[in-house]
C-alpha cells in the first residue's frame, strides 16, 4: 500500500500537495497570459478614446471634410458612405453566403461541388483584402471607364449622345456599387463558413422530427433548421461586417473618396476607413485628430451593430 | 398527391363513425424484406404481419435490426445515403415503395416518436400544429381543436393548458416525450412508431407513457421498439424477437415470454445474453 495516494497518509498528502501546487502555478500563468493579451486591446481602445474624443461633436456627422489645412468640418459623408457600401456588400454577400451554406450542408453535403465550394471559401478567407479591391476594379470599374472612352471615340451625333448617356449611367465606375462589391467578396467566405457551422450545429433530432412528421426538405430547412441557426449565422454576419467596415484597401481602388455628399451610388464615395487613411497621412494636426475621431466613430458603430444583433437574435 | 395516399391508407376501421368490427390482422405486411446499409446487410428475409390497432413490440439486443425495420415503415432510412432494400412492405394493402407514392404523404400518415424526446425549439402550441402547418392548414379554430385533442390524447392537456405559448423546451423530460407523442398523433396518423420512447425517462414518466400507449391502441396501430422486456410484457399484445438482423420469433407477448418456441428467444428473455 506504499503507492497509494490517500489524502490521509503522509506520502499521499505530500504528493497531493505537490500536485495542488503545480495546479496553482498553472492557474497563475494562465491568468497572467490572459491579462497579457488584453494589453494591446485595452491600449488601442484607450488611444482611440483619448485622441478621438476631443473632436467628437454632433457637427462631425453633419459637416463635410475640411480642405487640407482648414479647421472645423466633419465627415458626415464618410459615415453615410460606409453605411451605403457595407449595406450593398451585405445585400450581396448575406443571401449568397447563407444560401450556399444551405446547399452545401443540407442538399449535397458530400458532393464534389460542395467540397469545392468549401475549399474555395477557406482559401478566400485568407485572401489579402487589396486583391478584392483590384478584382472589383478590374470587373466593375474598368469596363465602364473603357466603355466611356470607346463611345467618346465615336462620330459625333445623337446616337453617340444616347450611347454616352447610357454608358455613363451604368451602375459602375468608381462608385459605391464597386466599393460594396469589393467588400462583399471579402465578406462572402466568412458568412458562408460561419453559416455552414451554424447549420451543422442544428440538432439532427430536429430534422428527424420534422421529416418524420411529413415535412419536405424545404419546409424542414425553412421552418426548423434556419430559425435555429439564425443567432449563429448573425454572429458570422456581424463579424464580417465589422471586418468590412474597417477595410481600406478594397475601397481605394473602387470607391475612391469624395469631399462631398454623395448624390447617387454611381459616383466616387467617401468612407470612414479611407478618410482615416487619407487624413492620418496629412501633415496637419487637425486632420490627424479627425482621423482619430473617425476611428472612434468606426469602433462605436461596429460595437453598436454587434450588440444590437446579439440582443435581437439571441436564442430564446 | 398527399391526399390520395392518406385516403388510401385510411381504412374504414380508422374512422370511429364507420368503425368496422374486425381490425385487419395484416395491417402492416413485411414480405421477404432485406435491408442494406451500403454493403452491410442489416435485415435478412423478414416476413411478418402486424395487426391493426394492437401494440406490437420489437425486442432484441442492440444492433439486431429492430430500429432499422421500424424506420423503414415510414422510410426514414431514405435519409441515409447508400441504403437499399429488396422485398416489400405494405401498409393497409399498399406498398410503401410504390414509386407513385409520395414519401411526404406516407410520413404524414405515420406518426413517429423517437428515443430522445425532440420537441422543436418552439412553443408547445407550435410543436403540436407543425404537421398541420406544413400541410397548409391555417384555420385557427381547427388548429386550436387539434392542440387540445392531441394534448388530451397524450395525457398532457391538464399539465400544460395554461402555458401553450411557452417554449416546449421548458417542460420536464417526461412531459417532452408526451409532447412528442401528442405531436405525432396531431395529424391523425394510421400507425404510431415508437423507437425506445422511454429509454431516457424515469420510472414514473415511463409508467405514464405506458399507460398512454394502452389508451392509444384503441385508435392507432402501434409498433414499439424497446430494450426493456418488462415494458414489452406490460404494454404489448404481440412481441417480435430479433437477433442479428433476423426475425427469430413473432407471437403473442404471452407466448413469447411464457413459452417461447425458439431457444435463442428463451435465452434472451431469461437474461442469458443481450
Q: Give residue A114's region: left, alpha or beta (phi > 0; psi -120 to 50).
A: alpha
| Cβ-defined contact of A209 to B81 (cutoff 8 Å) | no
Are A51 and A3 part of one and the same domain? Answer: no
**Gap between the Cα atoms of A183 and A201, Å rounded:** 27
Helix axes A285-312 and A272-280, enclosed angle (nearest 10)? 150
Grade residue A1 by pLDDT with cuts at 50, 70 and 90.
very low
Pair A55, A28 in one domain: no
A131 pLDDT exceeds 60? yes
In this prediction, residue B139 carries a pLDDT of 93
Task: Residue A27: give the domain boundaries.
Answer: 1-36
A215 and B112 within 8 Å at the Cβ level: the answer is no
| Position B147 pLDDT exceeds 90 | yes
Q: Tally the domains of chain A.
A: 2
What is the distance between the alpha carbons of residues B114 and B197, in angstroms, rounded to a whole number?
Answer: 6
Average pLDDT over residues A198-221: 93
Q: How near does any CA of chain A get to the CA of B104, in Å? A: 5
Report yes or no: B115 at the A interface, CB cutoff 8 Å: no
Residue A245 and residue A298: Cα distance in Å, rounded?
A: 8
B107 vs A: CB within 8 A: yes
Indicate the pLDDT class of residue B5, thresholds 50, 70 and 90. very low
pLDDT at A315: 59
Asked if A28 and A106 sit in the same domain, the reply is: no
Tell me the ipTM for this assembly: 0.86
Decide if pLDDT at B13 tops 50. Answer: no
Residues A31, A50: one domain? no
* Span of A10-19, A79-88, A109-118, B196-205 with lowest mean pLDDT: A10-19
Q: What is the pLDDT of residues A82-116, one digit of tens each?
A: 999 999 999 999 999 999 999 999 998 888 999 99
Cell matching residue A228? 435555429
A311 vs B193, more confident? B193
% of chain B at pLDDT higher than 70? 92
With contacts defined as CB-CB under 8 Å, which chain B residues touch A227? 121
- pLDDT score recorded for residue A7: 62
Report pLDDT for A73.
86
Taking contacts as CB-CB distances below 8 angstroms, the residues of chain B near A224 are 120
Give yes or no for residue B151 having a pLDDT over 80: yes
A residues 182-211 near B, CB within 8 Å? 203, 205-206, 208-211
CB of B178 less than 8 A from some CB of A: no
* Distance (Å) of CA A289 to CA A9, A50, A296: 68, 10, 11
Both A27 and A86 in one domain: the answer is no
Place of cell 448624390: A263
pLDDT (tens digit, 9 = 90+) per residue, B60-97?
A: 998 899 999 999 999 999 888 889 999 999 999 999 99
pLDDT surpasses 70 at B111: yes
Whether A31 and A62 map to the same domain: the answer is no
Closest Cα in chain B, distance from residue A187 (Å): 30
DSSP string, B174-199: HHHHHHHHHHHHTT--SEEEEESTTT
**In the predicted model, what is the mean pLDDT of residues B98-119?**
92
Q: What is the DSSP string of A173-204?
A: SSSHHHHHHHHHHHHHHHHHHHHHHHHHTS-H
Q: Tell me, yes or no, whether A16 and A158 share the same domain.
A: no
CB-based contact, A228 to chain B, within 8 Å: yes
Q: CB of B147 within 8 A of CB of B203?
A: no
B114: chain A residues, CB-CB within 8 Å: 205, 208-209, 212
- pLDDT averaged over every residue in chain B: 88
Domain with A242 in it: what CATH number?
1.10.3720.10
Q: For residue B90, what are the contacts with CB-CB under 8 A and spacing of at least 6? A: B28, B29, B31, B96
If asked whether residues A200 and A284 sit together in one domain, one would say: yes
Over residues B127-138, the pLDDT tens digits come to: 999 999 999 998
State whether A254 and A121 are in the same domain.
yes
Give residue B189's pLDDT: 92
Asked if A209 lies within 8 A of B116 by C-beta distance, the reply is no
**pLDDT category, A68, cuts 50, 70, 90?**
confident
Pairing state between β B191-195 and B110-113 = parallel
Q: Are B129 and B186 in contact (CB under 8 A)?
A: yes
- Model confidence at B14, pLDDT cuts 50, 70, 90, reads very low
Q: Are residues A6 and A129 in the same domain?
A: no
Provide the pLDDT for residue B8: 45
Instruction: Assess whether A48 and A192 both reside in one domain.
Output: yes
A219: nearest CA in chain B? B134
Segment B249-259, tens digit of pLDDT: 999 999 999 99
Higher pLDDT, A264 or A90: A90
Higher pLDDT, A148 or B189: B189
B131-158: b (≥16 Cβ within 10 Å) or e: bbbbbeeeeeeebeebbebbbebbbbbe
Phi and psi for B165 in degrees, rounded to 5?
A: -95, 5
pLDDT of residue A3: 53
Determine which of A39-43, A148-152, A226-230 has the lowest per-residue pLDDT on average: A148-152
Q: Output the nine-digit C-alpha cell for A170.
A: 451604368
Indicate the angle between helix axes A226-246 and A176-200, nearest 10 degrees. Answer: 140
- Give yes or no for residue B18 having a pLDDT over 60: no
- Regarding whether A223 and A97 lie in a shared domain, the answer is yes
**Tell me, what's the pLDDT at B81?**
85
Amino acid at each position: 500500500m506504499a503507492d497509494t495516494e490517500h489524502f490521509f497518509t503522509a506520502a499521499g498528502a505530500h504528493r497531493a500537495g505537490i500536485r495542488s501546487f503545480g495546479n496553482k502555478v498553472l492557474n497563475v500563468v494562465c491568468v497572467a497570459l490572459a491579462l497579457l493579451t488584453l494589453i494591446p486591446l485595452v491600449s488601442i481602445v484607450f488611444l482611440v478614446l483619448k485622441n478621438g474624443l476631443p473632436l467628437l461633436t454632433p457637427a462631425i456627422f453633419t459637416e463635410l471634410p475640411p480642405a487640407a489645412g482648414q479647421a472645423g468640418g466633419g465627415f458626415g459623408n464618410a459615415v453615410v458612405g460606409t453605411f451605403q457600401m457595407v449595406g450593398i456588400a451585405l445585400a450581396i454577400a448575406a443571401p449568397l453566403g447563407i444560401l450556399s451554406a444551405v446547399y452545401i450542408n443540407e442538399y449535397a453535403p458530400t458532393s464534389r461541388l460542395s467540397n469545392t465550394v468549401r475549399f474555395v471559401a477557406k482559401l478566400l478567407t485568407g485572401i489579402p483584402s487589396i486583391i478584392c479591391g483590384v478584382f472589383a476594379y478590374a470587373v466593375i470599374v474598368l469596363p465602364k471607364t473603357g466603355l466611356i472612352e470607346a463611345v467618346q471615340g465615336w462620330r459625333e451625333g445623337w446616337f453617340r449622345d444616347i450611347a454616352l448617356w447610357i454608358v455613363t449611367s451604368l451602375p459602375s465606375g468608381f462608385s459605391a456599387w464597386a466599393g460594396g462589391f469589393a467588400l462583399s467578396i471579402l465578406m462572402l467566405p466568412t458568412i458562408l463558413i460561419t453559416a455552414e457551422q451554424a447549420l451543422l450545429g442544428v440538432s439532427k433530432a430536429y430534422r428527424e422530427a420534422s421529416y418524420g412528421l411529413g415535412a419536405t426538405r424545404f419546409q424542414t430547412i425553412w421552418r426548423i433548421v434556419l430559425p435555429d441557426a439564425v443567432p449563429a449565422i448573425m454572429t458570422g454576419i456581424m463579424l464580417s461586417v465589422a471586418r468590412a467596415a474597417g477595410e481600406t484597401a478594397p475601397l481605394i481602388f473602387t470607391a475612391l473618396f469624395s469631399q462631398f455628399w454623395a448624390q447617387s451610388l454611381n459616383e466616387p464615395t467617401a468612407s470612414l476607413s479611407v478618410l482615416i487613411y487619407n487624413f492620418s497621412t496629412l501633415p496637419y494636426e487637425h486632420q490627424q485628430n479627425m482621423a482619430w475621431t473617425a476611428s472612434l466613430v468606426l469602433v462605436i458603430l461596429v460595437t453598436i451593430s454587434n450588440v444590437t444583433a446579439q440582443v435581437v437574435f439571441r436564442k430564446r | 398527391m398527399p391526399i390520395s395516399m392518406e385516403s388510401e391508407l385510411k381504412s374504414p376501421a380508422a374512422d370511429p363513425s364507420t368503425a368496422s368490427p374486425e381490425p385487419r390482422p395484416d395491417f402492416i405486411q413485411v414480405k421477404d424484406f432485406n435491408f442494406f446499409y451500403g454493403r452491410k446487410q442489416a435485415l435478412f428475409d423478414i416476413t411478418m404481419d402486424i395487426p391493426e390497432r394492437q401494440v406490437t413490440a420489437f425486442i432484441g439486443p442492440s444492433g439486431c435490426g429492430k430500429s432499422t425495420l421500424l424506420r423503414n415503415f415510414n422510410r426514414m432510412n431514405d435519409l441515409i445515403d447508400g441504403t437499399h432494400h429488396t422485398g416489400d412492405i405494405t401498409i393497409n394493402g399498399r406498398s410503401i415503395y410504390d414509386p407513385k407514392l409520395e414519401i411526404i404523404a406516407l410520413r404524414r400518415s405515420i406518426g413517429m416518436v423517437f428515443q430522445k424526446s425532440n420537441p422543436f425549439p418552439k412553443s408547445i402550441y407550435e410543436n403540436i400544429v407543425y404537421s398541420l402547418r406544413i400541410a397548409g392548414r391555417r384555420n385557427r379554430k381547427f388548429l386550436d381543436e387539434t392542440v387540445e385533442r392531441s394534448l388530451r390524447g397524450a395525457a398532457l392537456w391538464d399539465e400544460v393548458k395554461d402555458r401553450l405559448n411557452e417554449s416546449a423546451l421548458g417542460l420536464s423530460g417526461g412531459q417532452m416525450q408526451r409532447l412528442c407523442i401528442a405531436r405525432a398523433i396531431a395529424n391523425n396518423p394510421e400507425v404510431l412508431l415508437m423507437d425506445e420512447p422511454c429509454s431516457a425517462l424515469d420510472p414514473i414518466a415511463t409508467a405514464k407513457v405506458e399507460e398512454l400507449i394502452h389508451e392509444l391502441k384503441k385508435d392507432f396501430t402501434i409498433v414499439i421498439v424497446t430494450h426493456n422486456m418488462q415494458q414489452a410484457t406490460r404494454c404489448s399484445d404481440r412481441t417480435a424477437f430479433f437477433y442479428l438482423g433476423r426475425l427469430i420469433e413473432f407471437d403473442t407477448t404471452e407466448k413469447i415470454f411464457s413459452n417461447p418456441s425458439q431457444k435463442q428467444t428463451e435465452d434472451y428473455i431469461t437474461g442469458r445474453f443481450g
